[in-house]
Amino acid sequence: MADIIYTLAGKPYLNITNQCPCACTFCIRERHGSVGDAGSLWHQTDPTWHQIEQALAAFDFSRADEAVFCGYGEPFAQLENLKRTAQWLKTHYPKLKLRVNTNGLGDLIHNRPTAQELKGLVDALSISLNAPNAQRYAALCQPVYGEKSFDAMLSFAAQAKAFCPEVVLSVVAVVTPEEIEQCRAIAARLDLPLRVRALD
Ligand code: SF4
């Protein structure tokens, strides 16, 4: 069975799904069999809430200051389990900071506004901006929803700002320096910081 919780540089990460509506050309899933101390991050089928709860109970989060929802899939693809997991952690480890790394396509996945559903449950959202426009985004991330994904992701980011204490946009340094500057301008328009990530 794949790891639901793994650690990387001592920090716990939550791998609750392998589902994702994108096929990013730079996705770590295509280049590495696992990450950190994980044996495998590929589930046979996505874990049930019962399996996730068992993994949470078996892991000691007491020495961690942050846990991150980030695995071989998009956490919003399993939104109910994302919310239940965050609630469980907030109940059992109230001081633990919770961050979700997301592609920001939750609204398209569920056909409703989704960012607000994490209100009070998570402390930080890192949203993959990835590109300066819809065409480039579609080429790099290959979302099943096509070019409308870019605007949906920006809308998600704007919604998230209203309730989440810390929202950051990110771009992987596989795009050109000019495109990174264009991404920086988009982030500035949304009044959000931009994090430029090296390719893992
Ligand atoms: S959104 Fe994340 S998990 Fe999905 S394909 Fe892109 S990098 Fe991989």
Residue 70 Cβ < 6 Å to ligand 1 = no
Kindly give the parts of the chain with pLDDT less than 50.
Answer: none
What is the structure's pLDDT at 199?
A: 87
- Please give the distance, rounded to the nearest whole angstrom, from the Cα atom of residue 78 to the centre of ligand 1: 14
Beta strands in the chain (DSSP E): 5-8, 11-14, 66-69, 97-102, 124-128, 166-172, 194-197
Give the homologous superfamily in CATH for domain 5-197.
Aldolase class I (3.20.20.70)
Query: Does the Cβ of 74 fall within 6 Å of ligand 1?
Result: yes
Calculate how far, in angstroms, residue 63's C-alpha sits from the geometric centre of ligand 1.
Answer: 29
pLDDT at 31: 85
The sheet carrying 194-197 orders its strands as 5-8, 11-14, 66-69, 97-102, 124-128, 166-172, 194-197
- The whole-number pLDDT of residue 1 equals 75
pLDDT value of position 200: 77
